[in-house]
Amino acid sequence: MHLLSIPCIVIASINIYVAVYYLFFYFKFPRLDEHLPFAFLCASVGLYDIACTGLYNARSIVEGVGWQSVQFSAVNGISVSLLWFVAIVTDQKRTG
């Protein structure tokens, strides 16, 4: 295991824990809408960190490109979740 992947594993673990924690809050208090998008945001960041760990430990270019593909997908999830979370927190309404 590459030394640079250890902080990524720690950060991914923290993000996944926070995602599960806020998902629990979403099911416990369904009237508060901001818990679900924040849980998805944390899960997306955790997935990105897991992909970083895989990229640091890739043994070939093909394997590295596969992990970068997962990273790009996670960035899409981060972007959508962040927009969703900000829209709920700032009480933005959809137009259209």
Tell me whether residue 62 is in a domain: yes
Tell me whether residue 24 is in a domain: yes
CA dihedral 34, 39, 42, 45 (to 10 degrees): -110
Tell me whether residue 94 is in a domain: no
pLDDT in tens, 5-16: 899 999 999 999
Q: What's the pLDDT at 40?
A: 96
pTM metric for this prediction: 0.87
d(CA 8, CA 76): 19
Which residues span the domain enclosing 16?
5-89
Rg of the chain in Å (alpha carbons): 16
Domain total of the chain: 1
At 20, the amino acid letter reads: V
Tell me whether residue 95 is in a domain: no
**Cβ neighbours, 10 Å, residue 36:** 19
Burial class (CB in 10 A: 0-12, 13-18, 19+), 48: buried
Q: What's the pLDDT at 93?
A: 65
